[in-house]
Amino acid sequence: MAPLVLKSSSSGTSILVIGGTGTIGRHLVTASLDAGHPTAVLVRPAAAAEDPAKASLLEAFKTRGASLIYGDINDAEALVAAIKQAGDVVISATGHSSPEEVESQLRIVAAIKEAGNVKRFLPSEYGCDVEHVAEHMVEPARSILGAKVRVRHALKAAGIPHTIVCSNWAQGFLLPRAGDPQLPDGRPPDTTATIFGDGQVQATFVNEQDMSRVAIKAVQDPRTLNKKLHVCPPTNLCSLNQLVSLWEDKIGKPLHRHYVAEEELLKKIQESPFPLNFQLAIVHASFIAAGRAPSTKRNIHTKDSHGETMTQGVDDVDATQLYPGISYITVKDYLDALPPHNTLRSDGSRPDSR
């Protein structure tokens, strides 16, 4: 691999993003560039060659000053070299289509350990706090999120400095679908809205751009070192009933509400192909199982992703307390910015998403 020269920057902390062309990764790369960090993206050679949209995205990153490193996490030698050259901080945004894909991050952990220069590692999380919800999950979510737990344990055992970002639901997936992953092409309902459970349980929805800004702030923050960073702005709590009401306000007419009981949802999960079965399993955990799960007992008072008062432990920090200056895109803000007859891009982002 040819020597890499990162673009100069006012920030001395270089960031290597792995999975930077994915739904979450592209926002992390953008946030890193926005913050002035020398930023590199690990790119599989086939990614640009096979996907014109990814090739265009990578070209846009280069135009903004990002450096591209062509390699693969399956090539241990190249991965170690990339980390040594470009990774004061390594951020993973790899996918989660299977436990095996999640556990591919164990190769990143091993490479970071060998490289010996990484000051902070952010594993591919950006969702729920898996150690507290995995027991409430049904398959296939339980196995996939269980793999995330194993990655957490491995990086801790290796003594790698890290921050785990728990940002709950990404707005770009469920909000445009009015809470129903089954809707084709991400189109909102026109006459009938499907609501899973009783529709009363609230969850937190965080915009991908906001989550990424928080993550980049955290990489140099000593307060987040070896912590779980919870991104749970109280203004972003929303139930499925509330979400449908916001959609009704937007389209200017009422929707018939079809409530799906837990037994019916569990049957749908069993019968659906991947990734729909995984998506529905996460919906089940968030909006049905969470409604009967007791709050976790910790030490510092905050709100959990369902709006319940809870306490945090010594390994937990709250982004809204650490970075009070961040203004979060609310559920209503997000929906208001969508066109009336919304059509999502293939990556789940809204048409005007940066």
Residues carrying an active site annotation: 148
Residue 224 burial by Cβ neighbours in a 10 Å radius (0-12, 13-18, 19+): buried
Virtual torsion, Cα 152, 157, 163, 166, nearest 10 deg? 20
Structure tokens at 41: 């993206």
Nearest to 155 by CA among 73, 231, 226, 77: 226
Determine which helix (DSSP H) or strand (DSSP E) holds 152, and give its type and residue range.
helix 141-157
Is 90 within 8 Å of 108 (Cβ atoms)?
yes
User: In Å, how far from its chain's centre is CA 86?
Assistant: 23
Return the CA Rg of the chain. Answer: 20
H helices present in 207-298, as ranges:
208-218, 240-251, 262-271, 276-287
**Chain center to CA of 164:** 11
- 293 contacts 203 by C-beta, under 8 angstroms: no
Cα gap 303→63, rounded to integer Å: 40
In this structure, are residues 98 and 87 in contact, taking their beta carbons and an 8 Å threshold?
no
Q: Is 11 exposed, middle or buried (0-12, 13-18, 19+ CB in 10 A)?
A: middle
Distance between the two ends of the chain, CA-based, in angstroms? 32
Kindly write down the DSSP assignment for every residue of 308-321, as one continuous string: -EEEE-TTEEEHHH
SS3 91: strand
Q: What are the tokens at 326?
A: 């961040």
Whole-angstrom CA distances from 149 to 58, 91, 129, 155, 312 are 31, 17, 9, 10, 19
